[in-house]
């Protein structure tokens, strides 16, 4: 994960199609690596890895500034408009093994839209999908990324008011991942300061989990 004065964090974005996974990946990387667009069918059809350049001013170790490097694996959504659940799962599993086999995965980001309710059936399928991918310790390695925070704000919700109004399904999901969640406005988060705030929150989650990583084995497709 780290040289003497640098640190790399490995992330994967997972979730339903059109929730803003690719946009979130771009926000975290500060780039346009991933194709992100509004579409009536799923845009992302394969996994791809993007990495940021070295970012300064985010984190320190023993009083010394570390250059942070972020790697993000973008994935096709689940459910997907043209790929089966099994196909998406195998593609993601194989990409996790290919890209994070040596260094491991620090954090999976479950991407949900803050402006849409999370319903029990959808939640159940998503959790099952993540559990199948990450295994029994998935809760330690998962944080929720609430995209479209701008829309929730436009509708008059502060973060606090939002959390008072959300479905019990989302509240219980947030509780099961030890309240590791971040609101994200993908329109704004390429701004340096906004991006730094989000990255610092993710680093705190990784620190809370003692910098542990999930390792993946190659499996024959
Ligand atoms: N207003 C707003 N729009 C967003 C936000 N995040 C994503 N979008 C828009 O949502 C649409 C879908 O975003 P994508 O990044 O392509 O979503 P995805 O989950 O990768 O989509 P698929 O690859 O089709 O599964 C695009 O038009 C984005 O600009 C956000 O935080 N706020």
pLDDT digits (tens, 9 = 90+) for 24-41: 999 999 999 999 999 999
Indicate the pLDDT class of residue 220, thresholds 50, 70 and 90.
low
Q: Is the CB of 147 under 6 A from ligand 1?
A: yes
State the closest ligand 1 atom to the C-alpha of 111, by its place in the atom list counted from 1.
19
Hey, what's the torsion of the CAs at 107, 127, 135, 206, to 10 degrees? 20
Reported ipTM: the value is 0.99
Number of Cβ within a 10 Å radius of residue 64: 8
User: H/E element holding 214?
Assistant: none
Q: Convert the pLDDT of each residue in 117-166 to its tens digit.
A: 999 999 999 999 999 999 999 999 999 999 999 999 999 999 999 999 99
Mutate to test the pocket of ligand 1, among 186, 187, 190, 198 (most ligand atoms within 8 A of CB): 186
State the closest ligand 1 atom to the C-alpha of 186, by its place in the atom list counted from 1.
31
Q: Is the CB of 23 under 6 A from ligand 1?
A: yes
Q: Convert the pLDDT of each residue in 180-219 to its tens digit.
A: 999 999 988 778 888 999 999 999 999 999 999 999 876 6
Q: Is the CB of 44 under 6 A from ligand 1?
A: yes
Residue closest to 111 by CA, chosen among 28, 21, 206, 183: 21
Report the separation in Å between the CA atom of 76 and the middle of ligand 1, taken as the mean of its atom positions: 13
CA distances to 4, 9, 32, 69, 205 from 162, rounded to whole Å, are 41, 29, 29, 32, 21
């Amino acid at each position: 994960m780290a040289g003497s004065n640098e640190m790399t964090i490995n992330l994967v974005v997972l979730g339903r199609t059109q929730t803003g996974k690719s946009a979130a990946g771009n926000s975290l990387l500060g780039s346009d690596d991933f194709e992100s667009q509004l579409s009536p069918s799923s845009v992302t059809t394969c996994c791809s890895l993007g990495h940021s350049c070295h970012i300064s001013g985010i984190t320190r170790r023993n009083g010394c500034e570390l250059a942070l490097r972020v790697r993000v694996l973008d994935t096709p959504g689940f459910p997907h408009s043209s790929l089966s659940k099994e196909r998406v799962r195998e593609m993601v599993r194989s990409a996790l093994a290919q890209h994070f086999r040596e260094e491991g995965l620090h954090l999976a980001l479950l991407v949900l839209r803050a402006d849409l309710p999370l319903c029990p059936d959808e939640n159940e399928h998503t959790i099952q999908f993540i559990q199948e991918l990450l295994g029994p310790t998935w809760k330690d390695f998962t944080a929720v990324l609430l995209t479209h925070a701008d829309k929730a704000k436009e509708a008059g919700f502060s973060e606090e008011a939002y959390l008072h109004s959300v479905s019990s399904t989302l509240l219980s999901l947030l509780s099961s991942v030890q309240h590791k969640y971040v609101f994200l406005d993908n329109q704004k988060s390429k701004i340096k300061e906004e991006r730094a705030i989000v990255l610092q929150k993710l680093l705190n989650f990784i620190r809370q989990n003692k910098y542990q990583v999930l390792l993946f084995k190659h499996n024959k497709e």
